[in-house]
Amino acid sequence: MTSDVKISIKNLYKIFGPTPDVALEYVRRGMGKAELLEKHNHVLGLRDINVDMHDGEITVIMGLSGSGKSTLIRHLNRLIEPTAGEIRVDGEDVLSFNENQLRELRRKKMSMVFQKFALLPHRTVLENAGMAMDVSGVSTADFEHEARKWLARVGLEGNEHQYPHQLSGGMQQRVGIARALVSNSPIMLMDEAFSALDPLIRSDMQDLLLELQEELKKTIVFITHDLDEALKLADHLVILKDGEVVQQGDPQDILLNPGDPYIVDFISDINRARVLRVRSVMKEPSGDAQDYAGDISEKDNLESVLSLSGGDTNLTFRVVRDGETVGDLSMKELTRALVPLAAASESRQKGR
């Protein structure tokens, strides 16, 4: 395990039912989810999950309802016990932790942001934000400065003495994020944290999370069923189906090189121009004298480059990072990248 792996999951299985150890043997021999339920009345939650989550990155776990994503995140702090497998945090075996060690893990190393906000209705915004420190025995006077600081950072300055019912859904979720930040834990678990919000508020919350992450470099595990959200947030994307990992890796690479028909279907309607970044389709600098149409960043999305080009497919842009040339991007290459893999394959077949 490399030094920058914060959370390591190896050969993780979860089976729900009265005799999961017996059912596990059938699963290891190849029995699928539907057959296990039909023949043995057990539910396959997770099957042989192997994922490394790196320090300072956002790992997004996504899939449709019933894919196992929420089951997986609840294993990390042992809200759910696995049937088999290994979970390590900073190299330590979480499954061997006693009650005191587990309590310390949940209080100091991992914070959790829930879909339904999970605020205490009888406590003020300030008291909710400082809840993690409060349960550790720290007085309100001692955590107040820290709570005020993070409430201000998430845009809630001046709301400290209001109660949750006086806030909008988006504001309540900001309190949840502030609470996770006040705890000062290096790992944040976010289970469908934005899915209950309206689309515009949801987009604002995603932007806020990315802005905070740029500075704080937390290790974030984010659960979602929304592909646009996953592609926007993820440094590392893990796609689940029926409790199994279908594909994982750089989200840009998954979009350009889907490894399974399920993924091809999943990404078929995505706005590729908005999601794909220049770094994913640029070429190495040619070294020849080029008549560049302008400079672009490797972080720009293709939609912005399309706008810059005015639709001229003969242009080539210079890709720069910190003032240095790191690549070329021709509009012809950009246009090819916008064609989904299945459509591109079909086009080639017709041309034969």
pLDDT-based confidence at residue 40 (cuts at 50, 70, 90)? very high
10 Å CB burial of residue 219 (0-12, 13-18, 19+) is buried
User: In angstroms, what is the C-alpha Rg of the chain?
Assistant: 23
Note the pLDDT tens digit of each residue in 260-309: 898 988 888 888 888 899 999 999 887 666 789 999 999 899 999 999 99
Q: Where in the chain is the domain with CATH 3.90.1280.20?
A: 276-337
Note the pLDDT tens digit of each residue in 94-142: 999 999 999 899 888 998 887 776 788 999 999 998 887 766 666 667 7
pLDDT at 289: 64
CA distance 332 to 352: 21
The letter for the amino acid at 83 is T
Q: Where in the chain is the domain with CATH 3.40.50.300?
A: 52-266
CATH architecture of 276-337: Alpha-Beta Complex (3.90)
Those residues whose C-beta lies under 8 Å from the C-beta of residue 204, and which sit 6 or more positions away, are 170
Note the pLDDT tens digit of each residue in 187-239: 999 998 888 788 888 888 899 999 999 999 999 999 999 888 999 999 999 99
Rounded to an integer, the average pLDDT of 152-162 is 91
Segments in the chain forming alpha helices (H): 20-28, 33-40, 69-76, 99-104, 125-129, 131-134, 140-153, 169-182, 199-216, 227-233, 251-256, 261-266, 272-275, 278-281, 302-309, 331-337, 341-351
In degrees and rounded to multiples of 5, residue 252 shows phi and psi of: -65, -40
pTM: 0.85
The letter for the amino acid at 207 is D
In degrees and rounded to multiples of 5, residue 43 shows phi and psi of: -110, 125
Q: Is the confidence at residue 167, as pLDDT, over 70?
A: yes
Q: What integer best gives the mean pLDDT of the chain?
A: 89
In terms of CATH, what superfamily is 52-266?
A: P-loop containing nucleotide triphosphate hydrolases (3.40.50.300)
